[in-house]
Chain A
Amino acid sequence: MSTHFDATLDVKGAKCPMPLVKSRKAIGDLPVGHVLQVIATDRGSIADFQGWATTAKNIRLVAQETTAEGGQDLYVHYLERTA
């Protein structure tokens, strides 16, 4: 099952807080209703994106997936700009 998205942000290798800092900026550049895919390698991003989405004013966490690429776990987040 694949989740629809309109733009993608690669933050592989980036350490906390950069995946979130970059995501915040990227989603601000999207039109309302669009979905941003964020590809991270930081395991902590799962809980952090969940926490962020519950407190952020204009973000909805649509889905999260864990996949692997070349033996490395990838944490993929889908965020919708809601306002």
Chain B
Amino acid sequence: MTDLSLMPAPAATAAPAAVAPLTTAPAAPAVVTAAELYAKLLADAPLLIVDVRNPAEFARMRIEGREALDVLNIPYYAFIEDEDDAAAPIPTDREVVVVCAKEGSSEYVAELLAARGMAVSYLAGGFPAWGNHVDVRDVAAGAWGKVIQIARPARGDLSFVVVSDGAAAVIDPLRHTAVYHDTIAAEGASLAVVLDTHVHADHISGGPALAAATGAPYHVHAYDAIHPIDMLPATIPYTSLDDGQTFPIGAVTVTAHWFPGHTLGQFNFRLDAPDGTSALFTGDGIFLRSFGRPDLGGKGEAWTPLLYESLTERLPAIVHPHTLILPAHFSALDEAGADGVFSAPYAAVAATNDALRHRDLAEFTAYVLGHLPVFPPEYVQIKRVNIGLLEAGEQLADELELGKNICALSA
């Protein structure tokens, strides 16, 4: 009930909101920020989100949590039409957060619910504030420096900053780059290199912009710099990668390992620190519970055997049991610990991830074909943007990135 502290001070005679009978003046609804909402989702406290957007918007993207989150879609106009009817499905014994497309409608509905005696708050900034919320957390740290996870929880996108001895590397940066500049500056470091594990299909990379702003080189493999469907080459400046190429970042070394399958030019980056810390930035290779689908380049048949080889032969050769797997996506919030970090040692991933279960190539291919989710048409466009074949302003970029990533095979 931390949000109650955000409420205006009640009159001295008012009873606490939670026990106030309906006859006293209703409490005003509290405001919850996207960061506060995300903390509630991670903590998995019983919570009900009342999403008052229209059903089409709700179908496109919704707020997802862990076990204890319930979500109801009751459009705000239902409250205008018949308040009692609209409010009927909302239990009165749950903490409620109302969200809408902008903010005004959720405030409107939250006020109605507060007047009915409910413990209710509404999301500041509406759905865009949630969609653009960025979460920053340390993944690993030592005398050598640290690895920082930068997540966009609404989309299930993960990126990383490595800092060591005043040098920084950014891996798979997301579109809005301010957070990387801020994070690196806060660590007193300067950006040495920008690495994309692959040319992403689901989101627009911040890599070229970060490189342009800092002068750091931007690396992505040349195979991915050709649009797999258009067969046109990249127009952005980039430097290719070699299998086994190393990048010294202060006291740590980052080694590039070719890992074809999700894309032809997909790489994994392994970090080795002097104290034995080992982490593998897997991009859309392996995720904690799934792995990257091989069909987004339109060449699933050709790339599936490559993916099989990567998962069965390349991966075991580049990890220790204790190597932290750090993927570019999550599919569900319960893949994170309560600390909000999406990582697990390779040994744990190998034991629990169905993708790594022993299969021969035929079985693997059948498994892949049986678990391909829809192919979002905008993914072809996003790849164009990422190699400079299509210019996207903020509005188009927002539209292309609407919805959660669909880069993993389905469960």
Contacts and interface: CB of A to CB of B under 8 A. Distances in A.
Interface of A: 15-18, 20-21, 24, 44, 47-48, 50-52, 55-57
A47 B104 CA distance: 16
A55 B101 contact: no
B398 to A, nearest CB: 13
Contacts of B104: 15-18
A1 to B, nearest CB: 26
24 contacts: A15-B104, A16-B76, A16-B100, A16-B101, A16-B104, A17-B77, A17-B104, A20-B80, A21-B80, A21-B108, A44-B101, A44-B102, A47-B57, A48-B54, A48-B75, A48-B76, A51-B55, A51-B56, A51-B77, A52-B75, A52-B81, A55-B75, A55-B81, A57-B81
B102 A52 contact: no
Given A51-B56, A55-B75, A15 B81 contact: no
Contacts of B101: 16, 44
Contacts of B76: 16-17, 20, 48
Nearest to A59: B81
Contacts of A15: 102, 104
Interface of B: 54-57, 75-78, 80-82, 100-102, 104-105, 108
Contacts of B81: 24, 52, 55-57
B195 to A, nearest CB: 38
Contacts of A21: 80, 108
Contacts, number: 49
A15 B183 CA distance: 36
B80 A17 contact: yes
Contacts of B82: 57
Nearest to A25: B80
A40 to B, nearest CB: 13
A52 B56 contact: no
Given A51-B56, A52-B75, A24 B80 contact: yes
Contacts of A18: 104
A51 B54 contact: yes
B219 to A, nearest CB: 40
Nearest to A21: B80
A57 B108 CA distance: 21
Closest 6 CB pairs of A and B: A52-B77, A51-B54, A17-B105, A17-B108, A16-B105, A16-B104
